[in-house]
Amino acid sequence: MPDFQIVPVTDQAGRRAFVDYAFSHYADDPQWVPPLKGEAVGMITPGKNAWLTHADQQLFLAKRGGKVVGRISAHIDRLALEQPPEQGFGPGTGFWGYFDADDEAVGRALIAAAEHWLRDRGMTRALGPVSASIWEEPGLLIQGHDHPPTVMMGHQDPRYQSWIEAIGYEKAKDVVTYDLDVTHGFPPLVNRIVEMGEKNPRIRIRKVDKSRFDREAAIILSILNDAWSDNWGFVPLTDPEVKEVGKKLKPIVFEDLIYIAEVEGEPVAFMITLPDLNEPLKPLNGSLLPFGWAKLLLWLRHPKARTMRVPLMGVIKRLQASRLASQLAFMMIEYSRRAAVSRYGAQRGEIGWILEDNQGMVAIADTIESKVNKLYRIYEKTL
């Protein structure tokens, strides 16, 4: 008999314990960035995360002698069930995520509990870790444990890879992030492409208008859901999710870092760049009290960030195979780079995550001489 128990989380106290465990587990890991605890609890609380309006989720804790020694979530996204199977999800696909454990025995039992919950609800395949939506923190960190993650990216114990593979999980898909020095500009080829675009009267690259935030968010959502619709793992973002994400990100949305590209007046592409909020968050250790709120507010008023992250970029499908698509991308990247360096003091950029086989984005990343710095793996197993 194991000397621990796997118990379902049924109340707010359990959700707080679920979040707290990560703080104890990674207490000695210098690369882990503590999230704000209130924000992290909200992400797993029904009514506080719009994703949960189309998903069912069960959290589990492992306890040994009354002490939490592991955690996992099992979840079913009803929109993911509706997607074409050839795009990665589809009927019968369930997920697990938020996986952490003290040791391999606990880890195996937690994954088994998640699998059992999924199987009882008719799922025939498990993907993980996905914490929790594909738009949040997908995949297990395989490469890049030696430096901290940027905002909205995950960091996991390197032991987990062997544990997960030992119980029959195989690679479903890898996603990567690319790192680049932004202080010296891009190669001459990129500069020529940008200059040619600037001379094209059909093209307009404009900053977002934060005073019309909802309208701009709707434009970006429309492009995103079209641009990404054929991608592996795509699940459309709903209007409530966009509004919720917009509300959370609005404090770190700066007009000279987010661009919409128009061709003959039609919005056809966008790029979002964010200052790495993890830099000011890390010293707060998950709490805004007693003085963390003041430090964070000061940073938000006069943000300086060594690193910028590009979490999202998209070009409408009908242009994706054209030279114009890459030209628009290079123009937005260059304009964002200029602002990042001159106004925010940025030294490096991180692009991603990007699907390993997204040839268009991989080609753009290679052209601007960026290198893969982190690799995350999503595993699958037949139930």
Full residue range of the structural domain in which residue 368 is found = 179-374
Residue 124 domain-assigned (yes or no): yes
Mark whether 264 and 281 lie in a shared domain.
Answer: yes
Write down the pLDDT at residue 343: 94
Q: Are 311 and 331 within one domain?
A: yes
Share of the chain above pLDDT 90, in %: 85
pLDDT band, very low/low/confident/very high, at 248 (cuts 50, 70, 90): confident
Residue 42, in any domain of the structure:
yes
Alpha helices in the chain (DSSP H): 12-25, 37-43, 78-81, 104-120, 160-166, 188-198, 213-227, 239-249, 278-281, 292-301, 323-344, 359-367
pLDDT-derived band at 297 (thresholds 50, 70, 90) equals confident
> What percentage of residues in the chain have a pLDDT greater than 70?
99
Residue 17 has pLDDT above 70, yes or no: yes
Select from 156, 176, 196 the last residue of a domain: 176
185 shares a domain with 150: no
What is the pLDDT, as a whole number, of residue 376?
98
Rg (CA), the chain: 21
pTM above 0.75, yes or no: yes
Shared-domain flag, residues 186 and 277: yes
Residues 232 and 280 in one domain: yes
Sign of torsion over alpha carbons 311, 317, 320, 321: positive
pLDDT at 284: 86
Per the structure, the count of domains in the chain is 2
Q: What is the pLDDT of residues 178-233, one digit of tens each?
A: 999 999 999 999 999 999 999 999 999 999 998 898 899 889 999 999 999 999 99
- d(Cα 328, Cα 336) in Å, to the nearest integer? 12
Asked, for residue 383, whether it belongs to a domain, the answer is: no
Mean pLDDT of the chain: 94
185 and 133 housed in the same domain: no
**Residue 213: inside a domain:** yes
Q: Are residues 348 and 234 in the same domain?
A: yes
Taking only the tens place, the pLDDT of each residue in 56-112 is: 999 999 999 999 999 999 999 999 999 999 999 999 999 999 999 999 999 999 999
Residues 303 and 283 in one domain: yes
Task: Answer with the one of 118, 149, 176 that is the final residue of a domain.
Answer: 176
Q: What is the pLDDT of residue 276?
A: 93
The verdict on 10 and 72 lying in the same domain is: yes
What residues contact 286, with CB distance under 8 A and at least 6 apart? 23, 34, 35, 36, 37, 40
69 and 153 share a domain? Answer: yes
Q: Are 118 and 72 in contact (CB under 8 A)?
A: no
Q: Which of 143, 176, 209 delimits the end of a domain?
A: 176
Query: Quick one: 167 and 218 in the same domain?
Result: no
pLDDT, position 357: 94
Residue 368, in any domain of the structure: yes
Contact 180, 371 (CB under 8 A): yes
Residue 379 lies in a domain: no
Q: Residue 131 burial (CB < 10 Å; 0-12/13-18/19+)?
A: buried
Shared domain check, 316 and 287:
yes
CATH number at residue 331: 3.40.630.30
With respect to residue 382, please indicate whether it lies within any of the assigned structural domains.
no
Task: Evaluate whether residue 69 is within a structural domain.
Answer: yes
pLDDT digits (tens, 9 = 90+) for 118-174: 999 999 999 999 999 999 999 999 999 999 999 999 999 999 999 999 999 999 999
pLDDT over threshold 70, residue 289: no
pLDDT of residue 249: 74
